[in-house]
Structure 1
């Protein structure tokens, strides 16, 4: 089967390696970079495999659409695509286009679909392979796979250890279904649909008066990006590697209860939060213990909500 792949990052690169094994990849559309010396992993991989690569500032441009149609693929695969792809491209291949999305559609449509289930305290999520249409993550679903969100999963661990490999396997499975001529897509139930936009810093400020569970979910649902943040004196800091402890709390919320090599523990409603790493605004991520020494942090110091 002749396939064009649109994608980016390591996920796109690893998808390319896998689907090339049993298919003919006739072109790869990689993200456009202003600096020609900076290449996305998918572009580097395509060049190593001697596959033609194409980059356009916008896939909606006439030149991009014309070139795609001239390739005349049987199928288009979209693996980690954040740009809007026009219907002229999506509908052009003989067997259409399939797309990877890291949630159980129709829940968590949108660009930060790994963050929000963790922040919301959900126990399950997964991946969907679907046929994109003119809407945003709204097309018929071909394959879904569920996974458990463990109590200390972060965005990083959930993606790289679970969603990433599961997603590539599902893309291969979907291609095989299409090649065999027996895909069985199901329409999304709009009554169950949810949408969230990008998870940004404005969403991830910690309120130390919140319940320990809420804070724990916020930190891990923002780790590594955009990072949950708080203030120590005049400095904004981002914290990572959260663990929660359920205890009867008598200390002031936001106060430091312990400092050690394992991290810093902060009092909050119904418990304490331990975090392992810290990054100051525009700084590098370091261990919380190292940061405590640099910042002269003391037991009883209070992290601020504002």
Structure 2
């Protein structure tokens, strides 16, 4: 099939490679313009651009795809279908109606759940037990188009957003190939989205701060949901601190050195109540959270125990 591909981050790369490996004719790749990155603010290409150039596919980087120039370029390329995977721009009605077989989106959730820009982060942060990938026939709404195919994956209570991201990216490539195969065979049936929907907005600074008055399980989901980017943060003695790994604490855990440690503890949310070989125990609004790995500002990630010892921390001090 003659295709145009639109995508930007690394999540989209497996889908692009799957199209090429599957024998499809990708006549052009559209991706976001190069952005300043790093301390030197040098322009950095998107991961999709890097992959497309490696594959020998022409790359186009319009600031806005909805202009008359962008639409004319797509008409010249004359794709049978446009494939969109985390492109980062909204397509106009003119573009959506341009390819005869429509515009197909690979979305990292089980639609209609978690429509929006950050579906993987929010699925993990909300403690979902499952997520997945959906291929969808795009319309003018935000991830509201008819569903083509879905594939589900479990989320363990230790999985991070980074781990689920990589799994879904690979899964998306395979599901996209199956979608196009059925589309060419004429066996694909698009079905309207039904059921409860919710929104997965872009992450803001307000989503990253750890509120120790919340439940331990909720904080654990937040911490792993923000790993590896942008990271949950708190402060200790006024020092900013990323928290990368945690686990709700249970007195029944067999690997803990709890002999002689009173199980009845009265402490305030954020207060450190004990240091174990496996991390710091911190009181929350409901339950105790074991903090395993942290990263001080400007430093490398380290075990919470090493951080605490390095600061000569005292039991009873608080995270804020």
TM-score by length of 2: 0.86
Structure-2 change in CA distance of 1:270 and 1:195 (3 Å) = closer
In the TM superposition, what is the alpha-carbon distance from 1:285 to its structure 2 partner?
4.4
CA distance in 1, matches of 2:189, 2:56: 34
Q: Superposition pairs for residues 202-241 of structure 1, below 5 Å?
A: 202-241=206-245
Q: What is the RMSD of the two structures over their aligned residues, measured on CA atoms?
A: 2.1
1:181-239 C-alpha deviation (Å, 9 max, x unpaired): 221111012x5222232232212322223221121112112222232222212123221
1:44: which partner in 2? Answer: 50
2:177: which partner in 1? Answer: 172
1:80: which partner in 2? Answer: 86
CA distance in 1, matches of 2:225, 2:139: 29
Structure 1: 5+ residue stretches without partners:
none
1:265: which partner in 2? Answer: 281
In the TM superposition, what is the alpha-carbon distance from 1:163 to its structure 2 partner?
1.4
1:256: which partner in 2? Answer: 272
The match for 1:196 among 197, 200, 203 is: 200
CA distance in 2, matches of 1:241, 1:233: 20
**8 Å contact 1:56–1:64 — kept in the other structure?**
yes
Q: Secondary structure at the match of 1:157?
A: helix
1:91: which partner in 2? Answer: 97
In the TM superposition, what is the alpha-carbon distance from 1:102 to its structure 2 partner?
0.9
In the TM superposition, what is the alpha-carbon distance from 1:123 to its structure 2 partner?
1.3
1:19: which partner in 2? Answer: 19
CA distance in 2, matches of 1:158, 1:300: 36
1:57: which partner in 2? Answer: 63
1:139: which partner in 2? Answer: 145
CA distance in 1, matches of 2:11, 2:161: 15
Q: Secondary structure at the match of 2:44?
A: coil
The match for 2:133 among 127, 148, 158 is: 127
**8 Å contact 2:15–2:170 — kept in the other structure?**
no
CA distance in 2, matches of 1:34, 1:254: 38
In the TM superposition, what is the alpha-carbon distance from 1:293 to its structure 2 partner?
4.3
Q: Secondary structure at the match of 1:26?
A: strand
1:118: which partner in 2? Answer: 124
**8 Å contact 1:249–1:267 — kept in the other structure?**
no
Structure 2: 5+ residue stretches without partners:
37-41, 252-262
**8 Å contact 1:227–1:240 — kept in the other structure?**
yes
Task: Tell me whether 1:277 sits opposite 2:278 in the alignment.
Answer: no
TM-score by length of 1: 0.90
CA distance in 2, matches of 1:166, 1:285: 32
In the TM superposition, what is the alpha-carbon distance from 1:126 to its structure 2 partner?
1.3
**8 Å contact 1:27–1:54 — kept in the other structure?**
yes
